[in-house]
Amino acid sequence: MNKLLAADYQNIWHPYTNTATDNPLFLVDSACGVELHLADGTSLIDGMSSWWAVIHGYNHPSLNQAAKAQIDKVSHVMFGSLTHEPAIKLAEQLLSLTSSHAKQDFARVFFSDSGSVSVEVAIKMAIQYWFAQDRPKKHQLLTVRHGYHGDTFAAMSVTDPENSMHSMFQGILAEQLFAEIPVYGDDIAWRPEYMDSIKAQIEQHHQSIAAIIIEPLVQGAGGMKFYHAEYLRQLRQLCNQYELLLIFDEIATGFGRTGSLFAYQAAQATPDILCLGKALTGGYMTLAATLANQKVVAGIHADSQEGKAGGVLMHGPTFMANPLACAVANASLELLQVNNWQRQVAAIEEQLKQQLTPIQAHKQVHEVRVKGAIGVVEMKQPVDFNWIVPKFVELGVWIRPFGKLIYIMPPYIIKPEQLTKLTQAIAQVISEMD
Ligand SMILES: Cc1ncc(COP(=O)(O)O)c(C=O)c1O
């Protein structure tokens, strides 16, 4: 075995792994465009964008240049009482991209270092908001089943308690409220009763609920399920009616992945708090942001009561607004425009529909679904992970299924022939399951 791989097997704990078992592991030496180059000389077309993040591909000259220029100025500086141009520009850009009809949907950007932490911050904002209104009983979160919001403790508390990898923490995590999973299928005819489950929870518990948190339009790690935009519009109305804040977690859906820059814009339902991460830096570095509207900001600041927070948002990570990450994020946002992300994502969507739909006919396939630059083949049974991942590598592609889901969300710069290689590999592997 390669010496580095051997050292990895000996010393490192990878995500969601038991170190006592041999998990498939591949050594990346470099990456360029949509290709990962392994140390043994193999090249793989990347179908995962390193978990939704690398939208412009690897080793991009503009993103490299942004990082290089910034590292020669300052690579990190504390954000308490100090600031810098990359963060200032990035906040301006994010607030402008989340504006509609010349009006900003959000008033402030709070930067943090990962998606999970941006969710922690969003939850903290919601709880602090109600503290400040002198309604401390409103501290619970309501969400839907099959959601996923990260691996830290508050984020895990709103991740599905039964159908997720976090079920073992039941009883330890803060107790939150769960409604049924939204009826899925984004092209289904809408029916009012689709709101029944969440409406019942709201009616019963609104006095104790600070906010509803949900991934808009696409439930990612909780099952790669797409649901109707009307659900979100009605949720917005219910939140207004029952005095609840609304948090959208767009860590996976943000920056064009579903075919609109942000899913909330396509749904025409604007949350009070928005979480962003993953593709924010084009997948180059870890950076996340929690955007809050004026109501939330002013509401938190209104708390000047003695013994309370005194209007201060109680959060401040060491690596908040890292200048390198902010500089690369600015370059990534520019690239989205230059590359015409709408055209890129629309072309991927069309090709995925054409090439994945025939796989639906296979007897082991439960369903094929495509939305924007996301293609999902849901099998009837869980796939054998230790067989399928090396099989994909043999076929020259990087696809990493979980459970029953074989899914891809490639970099937006992928060429049609590279995308065909991904879809053909999926068809080939499924045909070998007979
Ligand atoms: C919707 C959603 N929220 C939150 C997270 C957590 O983000 P991170 O892994 O950067 O902490 C993820 C990660 O997959 C996600 O998909």
Both 425 and 411 in one domain: the answer is yes
298 within domain boundaries: yes
Please give the number of the atom of ligand 1 that sits closest to the Cα of 114.
Answer: 10
What pLDDT digit, counting tens, does each position of 30-46 carry? Answer: 999 999 999 999 999 99
- Beta pairing partners, 367: 378
Note the pLDDT of residue 329. Answer: 98
Atom of ligand 1 nearest to the CA of 286: 10
Q: Say whether pLDDT at 133 is over 70.
A: yes
Spacing, Cα 275 to ligand 1 middle (Å): 10
Residue 394 belongs to domain with CATH number: 3.90.1150.10
Q: Is 62 contained in some domain?
A: no
Token match 């990260």: residue? 150
**361 and 395 together in one domain:** yes
Q: What is the pLDDT of residue 305?
A: 63
Residue 270: per-residue pLDDT: 98
Cβ(308)–Cβ(282) below 8 Å: no
Among the atoms of ligand 1, which is closest to the Cα of residue 150?
Answer: 6
pLDDT one-digit tens code per residue, 396-429: 999 999 999 999 999 999 999 999 999 999 999 9
What integer pLDDT is reported at residue 1 of this predicted model? 80
Cα–Cα nearest to 415, from 33, 28, 32: 33
CB 295, CB 110: distance < 8 Å? no
221 Cα–ligand 1 center, Å: 8
Mutation test residue for ligand 1: of 149, 218, 248, the one with most atoms within 8 Å of CB: 149
Per-residue pLDDT tens for 57-78? Answer: 999 999 999 999 999 999 999 9
C-alpha angle with apex 56: 50 to 61, nearest 5 degrees?
A: 115
Establish if 87 belongs to a structural domain.
yes
Are 333 and 345 members of one domain? Answer: no
Same domain, 332 and 348: no
Domain with 426 in it: 3-56+340-431
- Find, among 98, 101, 210, 113, the residue nearest to 157 by Cα: 210
Bridge partners (DSSP) listed for residue 31: 36
How many Å lie between the centroid of ligand 1 and the Cα of residue 311? 28
Residue 246 lies in a domain: yes
Residue nearest to atom 2 of ligand 1 (CA): 149
pLDDT tens per residue, range 308-366: 667 899 999 999 999 999 999 999 999 999 999 999 999 999 999 999 999 999 999 99
The closest residue, in CA terms, to atom 13 on ligand 1 is 150
Same domain, 314 and 196: yes
| pLDDT greater than 80 at residue 55 | yes
Residues 50 and 175 in one domain: no
Provide Rg for the chain, Cα atoms.
Answer: 22
Pocket of ligand 1 (CB under 6 A): 51, 114-116, 119, 148-150, 215, 220-221, 249, 251-252, 277
Q: What is d(CA 102, CA 156) in angstroms, rounded to the nearest whole number?
A: 36
Mean pLDDT on 370-374: 98
Same domain flag for 297 and 400? no
Assess whether pLDDT exceeds 80 at residue 156: yes
Residues 275 and 395 in one domain: no
Residue 135, pLDDT above cutoff 90 = yes
- For the CA of 220, the closest atom of ligand 1 is 16
Between the CA of 262 and the centroid of ligand 1 the distance, in Å, is 15
Q: Which residues of 219-244 are buried (b: 16+ CB within 10 A; e: fewer)?
A: bbbbbbbbbbbbbbebbbebbeeeeb
Same-domain status, 7 and 137 = no
User: Residue 431 C-alpha to ligand 1 middle, in angstroms?
Assistant: 32
SS3 sequence, the chain? Answer: CCHHHHHHHHHCCCCCCCCCCCCCCCCEEEEEECEEEECCCCEEEECCHHHHCCCCCECCHHHHHHHHHHHCCCCCCCCCCCCCHHHHHHHHHHHHHCEECCEECCCEEEEECCHHHHHHHHHHHHHHHHHHCCCCCCCEEEEECCCCCCCCHHHHHCCCCCCCCCHHHCCCCCCCEEECCCCECCCCCCCHHHHHHHHHHHHHHHHHEEEEEECCCEECCCCCEEECHHHHHHHHHHHHHHCCEEEEECCCCCCCCCCCCCHHHHHCCCCCEEEECHHHHCCCCCCEEEEECHHHHHHHHCCCCCCCCCCCCCCCCCCCCCHHHHHHHHHHHHHHHHCCHHHHHHHHHHHHHHHHHHHHHCCCEEEEEEECCEEEEEECCCCCHHHHHHHHHHCCEECCCECCEEEECCCCCCCHHHHHHHHHHHHHHHHCCC
Kindly state the tokens that stand for 74.
């300052």
Ligand 1: residue whose CA is nearest its atom 7: 115
Rounded to an integer, the average pLDDT of 79-84 is 98
Do the domain assignments include residue 64? no
Phi, psi of 244, rounded to the nearest 5 degrees: -125, 145
Residue 100 to residues 28, 250, 266, 315: CA-CA distances in angstroms?
Answer: 42, 17, 12, 29
Cβ within 8 Å of residue 41, ≥6 positions away: none
Query: How confident is the model over 282-307, as a mean pLDDT?
Result: 90
| Protein residue with its CA nearest to atom 9 in ligand 1 | 115
The fraction of the chain above a pLDDT of 90, given in percent, is 90
- Report whether 411 contacts 53 (CB < 8 A): no
pLDDT at 307 over 60: no
Question: Distance, CA 344 to ligand 1 centroid (Å)?
Answer: 24
What is the rounded average pLDDT of the residues 254-273?
98
Length of the chain in residues, anyone?
A: 434
Of 127 and 20, the one with more pLDDT: 127
61 part of a folded domain? no
Same domain, 86 and 214: yes
Q: Examine the pLDDT at 277 and tell me if it is beyond 90.
A: yes
Substitution site in 116, 214, 219 for ligand 1 pocket (most atoms within 8 Å of beta carbon): 116
CA–CA dist 242, 130 (Å, integer): 13
Q: Please count the structural domains in the chain.
A: 2
Domain final residue, candidates 337, 365, 398: 337
In angstroms, the CA 197 to CA 302 distance is 34
By annotation, the residues acting in catalysis are: 16, 148, 249, 278
Contact 53/310 with Cβ under 8 angstroms?
no
pLDDT in tens, 208-227: 999 999 999 999 998 999 99
Q: Please give the Cα distance from 178 to 108 (Å, whole number).
A: 29
State the pLDDT at residue 44.
98
Is 63 part of a structural domain of the chain?
no
Nearest-CA residue for ligand 1 atom 8 is 115
Say whether both 279 and 131 belong to one domain.
Answer: yes
pLDDT at 163: 67
Quick one: which of 62, 83, 218, 90 has its CA closest to 144?
A: 218
Q: How confident is the model at residue 165 (pLDDT cuts 50, 70, 90)?
A: low
Answer yes or no: do 255 and 305 share one domain.
Answer: yes
Q: What angle do CA 177, 183, 187 make, to 5 degrees?
A: 145
Instruction: Tell me if 276 is assigned to some domain.
Output: yes
- Which of 337, 363, 378 corresponds to the end of one domain? 337
- Supply the residue whose CA is at minimum distance from atom 16 of ligand 1: 252
Of the three residues 337, 363, 390, the one that is the final residue of a domain is 337
CATH number at residue 86: 3.40.640.10
pLDDT of residue 304 exceeding 90: no
Return the percentage of the chain with pLDDT > 70, whole number.
98
